[in-house]
Copies of this chain bind each other. A is one copy, B any other.
């Protein structure tokens, strides 16, 4: 795990909805070297509350994302606490006043990093887990001329209504704590709300069968309650600022490639515009990104394959904690990188 990262200055960043973040910035990390013709770049965005180092499990020697072969850029999402976020933005756009950031905005910021900082014109691959998958789809829609391949795993091009409802529960639990104070809490964070949010999330992150099999024991947890406290409450108490969490949650709830300018809300048309070769990887028992939703997306993308990650880990198949799932995803990425890109 490397906490080392670089900062790319976005200057005045105007969002899709018209706010301007002055002095905005992206925190990012890179792995490997950009080759001479700048043809080996991969973008691998972060997931809900994830930081760049949380993506490193899928990067390494001998893996599909091998830094000896590829130049892998991991941009931190706006809102995640490292890039511009409620927690690190000066007034008046600080904390509860941080503007709404769309997935389109996330990719617009990353596009500037990729083109202005590195002069990259083509991406060999965009890939990501969960909200990272949403950004992956968005890359292929926002910049079809740049993206050779996409591999979204455990995520969607448009956040489904059920997924929004799941997130409403998460949000309601966090904000029910009066210490949240409309986002104007001080140094005393609403930890009751964060712990409640963690318990709500726990049922969604892993499948019914994961719990039935007590698979959490393989992660070192000694009882169900130990898993709820040790993994889940610990997860959300680990420096995850509530306003940041709510900012990213808004981004997630409002994800839809159909809202890319030019598509007027037509998600199917946006999917149909994708030129990249796509390998779409939902997890068999993902409770908020179920495989049937991705089958729908694949049916609208010209050159796409659906490959379901089997097993009982549910959404967290894409978290890097289960070796079998990691191998499945890595192998899928190898297959995809061996195929012609969509711009060939």
B172 touches A200 (CB 8 A): yes
Determine the residue in chain B with the shortest Cβ distance to A285: B290
Name, among A164, A168, A176, A228, the residue most crowded by chain B CB atoms within 10 Å (CB to CB).
A176
Q: Please state the number of chain copies in the assembly.
A: 2
Name, among A168, A177, A195, A209, the residue most crowded by chain B CB atoms within 10 Å (CB to CB).
A168
In this assembly, does A60 line the interface, its C-beta being within 8 Å of a C-beta of chain B?
no
Q: How far is the CB of A58 from chain B (nearest CB, A)?
A: 26
In this assembly, does A178 line the interface, its C-beta being within 8 Å of a C-beta of chain B?
yes
Which A residues from 135 to 176 make CB contacts under 8 A with B? Answer: 160-166, 168-169, 171-173, 175-176
| Distance in angstroms between the alpha carbons of A201 and B166 in the assembled complex | 9
Interface size class of A (residues with CB under 8 A): 35 or more
Q: How far is the CB of A163 from chain B (nearest CB, A)?
A: 8
Given contacts A169-B202, A193-B176, are A164 and B292 in contact (CB under 8 A)?
no
Which one of B160, B177, B203, B224 lies within 8 Å of A208 (CB-CB)?
B160
In this assembly, does A212 line the interface, its C-beta being within 8 Å of a C-beta of chain B?
yes
In this assembly, does A322 line the interface, its C-beta being within 8 Å of a C-beta of chain B?
no
In this assembly, does A131 line the interface, its C-beta being within 8 Å of a C-beta of chain B?
no
Residue interface mask A170-192, B partner, CB < 8 A = 1: 01110111110000000000001
B169 touches A169 (CB 8 A): yes
| Distance in angstroms between the alpha carbons of A343 and B202 in the assembled complex | 43
Determine the residue in chain B with the shortest Cβ distance to A208: B162
B172 touches A199 (CB 8 A): yes
> Which residues of chain B come closer than 8 Å to A166, judged between CB atoms?
203
Which A residues from 186 to 228 make CB contacts under 8 A with B? Answer: 192-193, 195-197, 199-204, 206-212, 214, 224, 228
B228 touches A165 (CB 8 A): yes
Given contacts A176-B173, A290-B208, are A199 and B165 in contact (CB under 8 A)?
yes
Q: How far is the CB of A191 from chain B (nearest CB, A)?
A: 10
| Distance in angstroms between the alpha carbons of A178 and B203 in the assembled complex | 23
B168 touches A203 (CB 8 A): yes
Determine the residue in chain B with the shortest Cβ distance to A170: B200
> Which residues of chain B come closer than 8 Å to A165, judged between CB atoms?
199, 202-203, 211, 224, 228
Which one of B162, B179, B206 lies within 8 Å of A211 (CB-CB)?
B162
> Which residues of chain B come closer than 8 Å to A168, judged between CB atoms?
199, 202-203, 228
In this assembly, does A304 line the interface, its C-beta being within 8 Å of a C-beta of chain B?
no
> Which residues of chain B come closer than 8 Å to A214, judged between CB atoms?
161
In this assembly, does A293 line the interface, its C-beta being within 8 Å of a C-beta of chain B?
yes
A192 touches B176 (CB 8 A): yes
Beyond contacts A165-B211, A172-B197: 18 other A-B pairs, Cβ-Cβ < 8 A, are A161-B224, A162-B206, A162-B208, A165-B199, A166-B203, A168-B199, A168-B228, A169-B173, A169-B196, A169-B203, A171-B199, A172-B196, A172-B200, A173-B196, A176-B176, A200-B200, A208-B290, A208-B292
